[in-house]
Amino acid sequence: AQSVTQPDIHITVSEGASLELRCNYSYGATPYLFWYVQSPGQGLQLLLKYFSGDTLVQGIKGFEAEFKRSQSSFNLRKPSVHWSDAAEYFCAVGRRAGGTSYGKLTFGQGTILTVHP
């Protein structure tokens, strides 16, 4: 069974500082990996995704993530955080296998990001 762990429940950074949100996954093969962002009371917006190929993926809003197979990790990074980045961030692993549950996502617990001015 697939699983995702986000070790940090809450992270606080100052505006302009760099950011790294951790994500570790468990999956029997090469996974599909995603990072989503959720503002309070809202749905999820896709930041970036990894399917195959280059292990460093670029996303929207200046975010990037690196897939490291040896560490089973897919950490999200941003070089300079803006106050508008304050939200909750979810890492997810997607099922590659076929059948009716193809594409099924398993989410991590989420990391709440607070940005200080």
Partner 1 sequence: GAVVSQHPSRVICKSGTSVKIECRSLDFQATTMFWYRQFPKQSLMLMATSNEGSKATYEQGVEKDKFLINHASLTLSTLTVTSAHPEDSSFYICSARDRGGGGYEQYFGPGTRLTVT
Helix (H, G, I), strand (E, B) or coil at 49: strand
| β-bridge partners, 33 | 50, 93
The owner of tokens 């549950």 is 101
Q: For partner 1, which is the closer residue by CB, 32 or 73?
A: 32
Residue 110 in contact with partner 1, rule: CB under 8 A: yes
Count the neighbouring beta carbons within 10 Å of the beta carbon of residue 21: 23
4-43: contacts with partner 1 (CB under 8 A) = 32, 34, 36, 41-43
Chain centroid offset of residue 60 CA: 12
Subset of residues 39 to 68 that bind partner 1, contact rule: CB under 8 A: 41-46, 49, 51
| Residue ranges binding partner 1 (CB under 8 A) | 32, 34, 36, 41-46, 49, 51, 90, 94, 100-110
